[in-house]
Amino acid sequence: MRVDISVVQERYAKMSNEELIRYATLDAKGLTPAAQQVIAYEVDKRNLHPGIFDAVEAQNRDHSEEEIYAYCETLQGLDCPLCRKTVPLNGTFSRQVKAIIFSGHTSDTYTVACPDCLDKTSKTALHKSLLQGWWSPVGIFRTLSAIFIYLRHSKHHHDEAPSPALRQFARLHVGPLTAYRGDRRRLQSIITQ
C-alpha cells in the first residue's frame, strides 16, 4: 500500500517532541526513505539533538557483531539500575507465566543489571511461574518453557563477556543507544525499568 507522504508529514508534525523522540528512537524500523526524510526535517526544524535522526538510520541497517559488542560494552559500563553497584553489568531474559483457567498470561522481560541482581530477577520470575503457571494446559506448556529459559540464560549472568540476552537487548535498542551516545544519564534511562 502506498502512503501519501503528506499524510506522514502531517502525522509527524502533530507529534509532541517527546512523542517524536520516542518514535524515532524505538519504532522507526522499516520506515521508507521518504518517511525517514520527514523525520530528519522535523528533528532539524525543532532543533532536537541530531543523534535522534542517527537513531532512525541505525534501526534501518544491519549491525556487525563488532558493533553489537561495542554497544554491549557501553551497557556493561552503566550503573546497576536495581542496586546502583558499579560492577560490569550483564543481561538476562526471563519469562513469567500466570495460568488463567483455560489460558495463561506470559510476560517476557529483558533485564540489564549486575550479576547478583540478574540472579535475583530471574529466580523471582521462575518462582512466580512455578507457583502460578501450572494451572491450565497452556500454562503447563509455558511454565516448562519458562524453566528452559531460566536454565539457558541464568548460566551467563556472571560471565565477563556480554551474555546472549545482553547482545539481543543491544540489538533491540540500537536506536536509543545511538541517539544517546556519550550521554550517560540518558543511556542509563535505557536500562531503567
Chain residues binding Zn ion by CB under 5 A are 80, 82-83, 85, 113-114, 117
> 10 Å Cβ neighbour count for 67?
16
> Which residues have CB under 8 Å from 178's CB, separation 6+?
51, 54, 55, 57, 58
Nearest approach in angstroms of CB 81 to Zn ion is 8
Question: How far, in Å, CA of 58 to CA of 39, rounded?
Answer: 14
Cell of 141: 506448556
H-only helix segments in 15-105 = 17-26, 33-45, 51-59, 65-76
Length of the chain: 193
State which H helix or E strand residue 92 sits in.
strand 90-100
Among residues 99 and 113, whose Cβ is nearest to Zn ion?
Answer: 113
Nearest approach in angstroms of CB 37 to Zn ion is 42
Among residues 82 and 187, whose Cβ is nearest to Zn ion?
Answer: 82
Cell of 143: 511454565
Nearest approach in angstroms of CB 84 to Zn ion is 7
Question: How far, in Å, CA of 98 to CA of 106, rounded?
Answer: 6
Among residues 163 and 178, whose Cβ is nearest to Zn ion?
Answer: 163
Nearest approach in angstroms of CB 108 to Zn ion is 21
Nearest approach in angstroms of CB 86 to Zn ion is 10
Among residues 88 and 145, whose Cβ is nearest to Zn ion?
Answer: 88
Instruction: Give whole-number Cα distances, 139 to 45, 100, 127, 136, 147, in Å.
Output: 50, 8, 14, 5, 12
Among residues 76 and 143, whose Cβ is nearest to Zn ion?
Answer: 76
